[in-house]
Amino acid sequence: MDKRRVRVFRDRLMDRRESLVGQVQQAELYSRERDAEATQDPADMAANAYTKELLVSMSDNDRQLLNLIDEALVRMDDSGYGKCIRCGQAVPEKRLEAVPWARHCVQCQELQERGLFNDDDE
């Protein structure tokens, strides 16, 4: 992949990363604020617990995505971006346009989704 295309993908990854970091920080701040509130009503307490659990789950997913983005940025620095981390084949550019943090080619991604290998096998 040429350097110009890598730069385009780097910009997209950095924009997404910045957005996710903001979301995670907002979720953590909201969670701390809700914890600080003294709630007397059991219904409010249940609603707050549900909201906190949802926010924690959301931020966990966001953190996982941040890790994938950071890994993609490292692969860019190591000239490995756009190559499957399992088989080394090129990841189709259309796949990278849809999922710029993609780690696998389409075939290896399908194998992973079917449970035929996991990332620890690499």
Give the 3-state secondary structure of residue 1.
coil
Could you tell me the residue ranges of all domains in the chain? 1-81, 82-122
Give the 3-state secondary structure of residue 83.
strand
pLDDT at 37: 65
**Does residue 120 have a pLDDT over 80?**
no
What is the rounded average pLDDT for all residues in the chain?
Answer: 85
What's the mean pLDDT in 13-24?
A: 89
Distance CA 116, CA 44 (A): 45
Any idea which fold 1-81 has? Four Helix Bundle (Hemerythrin (Met), subunit A) (1.20.120)
Amino acid at 111: L
51-109 pLDDT, tens digit per residue, is 777 767 767 788 889 999 999 999 999 999 999 999 999 999 999 999 999 999 999 99
- Range with lowest mean pLDDT among 20-29, 37-46, 92-101: 37-46
pLDDT at 17: 92
* C-alpha distances out from residue 64 to 7, 58, 71, 88, 113, Å: 23, 10, 11, 23, 17
Q: What are phi and psi of 90, to 5 degrees?
A: -65, 135
Token pair recorded at residue 121: 């096998």
Whether 40 and 82 have beta carbons less than 8 Å apart is answered as no
pLDDT at 48: 72
